[in-house]
Amino acid sequence: MGEVPESHPRYASLKARKQLTDAASAGLLADSALIAHGRGEAFDYLIGEVTCDTAREAIGEVAARLQSADNPVISVNGNTVALAGPQMIACAAALSCPIEVNIYYRTPERMRVLLSALDTQRQEAAALYPELADKIAKVEVLGANPDGRIPNLDGPRANCHTDGILSADVVLVPLEDGDRCEALIAMGKTVCVVDLNPLSRTARMASVTIVDELTRCIPILLTILMNETKLPNHEWDNEQNLQNAIKVMLRNLE
Amino acid sequence: MGEVPESHPRYASLKARKQLTDAASAGLLADSALIAHGRGEAFDYLIGEVTCDTAREAIGEVAARLQSADNPVISVNGNTVALAGPQMIACAAALSCPIEVNIYYRTPERMRVLLSALDTQRQEAAALYPELADKIAKVEVLGANPDGRIPNLDGPRANCHTDGILSADVVLVPLEDGDRCEALIAMGKTVCVVDLNPLSRTARMASVTIVDELTRCIPILLTILMNETKLPNHEWDNEQNLQNAIKVMLRNLE
């Protein structure tokens, strides 16, 4: 895939695709990561490739939960780093919380490449959001030396940091898999996810699900975190929010 | 991704995913091929991961068009070879027609790897379908030395064989892209495609669209080609068939 001209009507989607294939070449992603991205593309197509009202409500709710958390943590995987690494670092800066690299198919080599990518992205983030530069410099990036495990998960995907995911009360974890989402919920955490498939186990298990494309919704979340203080909606009905997203897709399919 | 046990409830889908990631490692696929497969997975999820009645009708119509063609040709790309190469060779044998490797992102290296994969798959096909073994041995595999071009297409993706796609009246081309489908239709050919997205340009441009997963529908097509003679339905309404597929997806989403 060559360079995508900004004038292309599907620039955003093609740019995301290129970021992912570049990340795959650079060793940031597991084998199945591109397939997962493709599934997302299909659901994004159904949602109309725009941030719908129901997604905006979920973004506001996620902002509120993160802002009112005692120990918020942002957990990122390969696809998240490839698509929105600098923006995730900026969100962590706005919240003064750590980022933890937590991947399903953990290998030392992929962890090394991802932590190194985040190092570079920290500088990109400071250039993109100069008003956050001081806080961006202080964001703690965890993942290299996990000293704890998520209960009820087997294998290396359970590894995590005691002072990161393990002690967090609210976790923002975009693009999470169903098993780990379920395990985090079972630990009593508030789990905020970004998932374009409103029918997925992750979407249905999570406390708050943003049904939107990552590179569209994270900048909106960041703007709120930088400028407003939101209050959590204690009546939040995630199931209803997912139903509303499905309705948008049904309208577009019809 | 390790070996998938046959008892897994989503064995077929996980097996296809493994075939694709293995093919990517072996150099059979372009960068974006895994993303395209993921889009297919999402639509397959919506169609219920089964061959619906409307797909069965399309499969029968494709069989009839191929059987009554003067010069049928089967055109395959990387994903098709990875997922159903031996079955495509068996279809070509049952029709006594050539297979042509025709890929969007053509490089000499990928063409070489694909032609070599088909060589191995010819032996697999003969073992799987011994009743076709003599015909399978004679299937002509084109693609190495294209001597013609599809009009109205730029770049290497237009390259094809005069005694293959260029002179064919009916082309079965699973997983085709919209541009090339349109160009083949503009040449007056009957174009039969397999596409899980009933809204795609390919699905809407084609003469007959099978909205089904490749590894499910090709064995059904092959069984018809080996055992029955079908007559084309001169009233075939592809638009209506696509609408019926969308209705199945709507019911599953609801």
How near does any CA of chain B get to the CA of A142, in Å? 25
Which residues on B lie below 8 Å from A31 (Cβ)?
1, 21, 24-25
Give the separation between CA B174 and CA B236, rounded to whole angstroms. Answer: 19
- Percentage of residues in chain B with pLDDT exceeding 70? 98
- The band of B209, judged by pLDDT with boundaries at 50, 70 and 90, is very high
- B37, B43, B45: which is closest to B79 by C-alpha? B37
pLDDT tens digits for B13-63?
A: 889 999 999 999 899 998 789 999 999 999 999 999 999 999 999 999 999
- A199, A204, A198: which is closest to A185 by C-alpha? A204
- The band of B2, judged by pLDDT with boundaries at 50, 70 and 90, is low
Burial class of residue A163 (count of CB atoms within 10 Å of its CB; 0-12, 13-18, 19+): middle
The residue behind tokens 């093919």 is B23
Give the separation between CA A170 and CA A177, rounded to whole angstroms. Answer: 17
| pTM to 2 decimal places | 0.90
Q: Which range (A20-34, A73-87, B211-225, B235-249) has the least confidence?
A: A20-34
Beta-carbon count within 10 A of B108 CB: 9
3-state helix, strand, coil in chain A (%, to 5): 55, 10, 35
Give the separation between CA B230 and CA B241, rounded to whole angstroms. Answer: 18
> Which residues 6+ apart lie within 8 Å of B190 measured at CB?
B65, B69, B169, B170, B171, B207, B208
- Per the CB < 8 Å rule, is A35 touching B42? no
Give the separation between CA B152 and CA A229, rounded to whole angstroms. Answer: 56
| pLDDT over threshold 80, residue B102 | yes
Q: Residue A234: its pLDDT value, please?
A: 81
User: Edge-to-edge strands of the sheet including B190-194?
Assistant: B141-142, B99-101, B72-76, B170-172, B190-194, B208-210
Give the separation between CA A3 and CA A15, rounded to whole angstroms. Answer: 8
Q: Does B52 touch chain A (CB under 8 A)?
A: no
- Per the CB < 8 Å rule, is A35 touching B31? no
List the helix and strand counts (H, then E) for chain B. 10, 8
Report the residue from B20, B35, B246 with minimal CB separation from A37.
B35
Beta-carbon count within 10 A of A202 CB: 21
Q: Residue B234: its pLDDT value, please?
A: 81
Q: Residue B1: its pLDDT value, please?
A: 45
Q: Residue B4: its pLDDT value, please?
A: 66
Beta-carbon count within 10 A of A106 CB: 18
- Per the CB < 8 Å rule, is A32 touching B42? no
pLDDT tens digits for B54-79?
A: 999 999 999 999 999 999 999 999 99
Interface of B with A in 129-188 (CB under 8 A): none
- The band of B201, judged by pLDDT with boundaries at 50, 70 and 90, is very high
Which residues on B lie below 8 Å from A24 (Cβ)?
31
Q: A218 or B157: which carries more pLDDT confidence?
A: A218
| pLDDT over threshold 80, residue B140 | yes
Which whole-number Å values give the CA distances from A47 to A55, A213, B249, in the listed order? 10, 10, 14
Pairing of the two strands B159-160 and B148-149: antiparallel
Burial class of residue B160 (count of CB atoms within 10 Å of its CB; 0-12, 13-18, 19+): buried
**Mean pLDDT, residues B229-237 taken together:** 89
Q: Residue B3: its pLDDT value, please?
A: 64
- A73, A67, A71: which is closest to A171 by C-alpha? A73
Q: Residue A2: its pLDDT value, please?
A: 54
- Per the CB < 8 Å rule, is A38 touching B43? no
Residues in chain B: 254
- The band of B155, judged by pLDDT with boundaries at 50, 70 and 90, is confident
User: Edge-to-edge strands of the sheet including A72-76?
Assistant: A141-142, A99-101, A72-76, A170-172, A190-194, A208-210
**Mean pLDDT, residues B107-119 taken together:** 94
The residue behind tokens 């080609």 is B225
CA dihedral A164, A167, A173, A178 (to 10 degrees): 120
- Per the CB < 8 Å rule, is B253 touching A249? yes
Mean pLDDT by 10 residues, chain A (254 residues): 68 89 90 91 94 97 97 96 97 98 89 96 98 98 94 88 96 90 95 96 96 97 94 92 96 88
CA atoms within 13 A on the CB side of B68: 13
Beta-carbon count within 10 A of A207 CB: 19
Q: Does A41 touch chain B (CB under 8 A)?
A: yes
Which residues on B lie below 8 Å from A199 (Cβ)?
45, 253
By CA distance, what is A247's nearest residue in B? B254
Q: Residue B30: its pLDDT value, please?
A: 84
- The band of B186, judged by pLDDT with boundaries at 50, 70 and 90, is very high
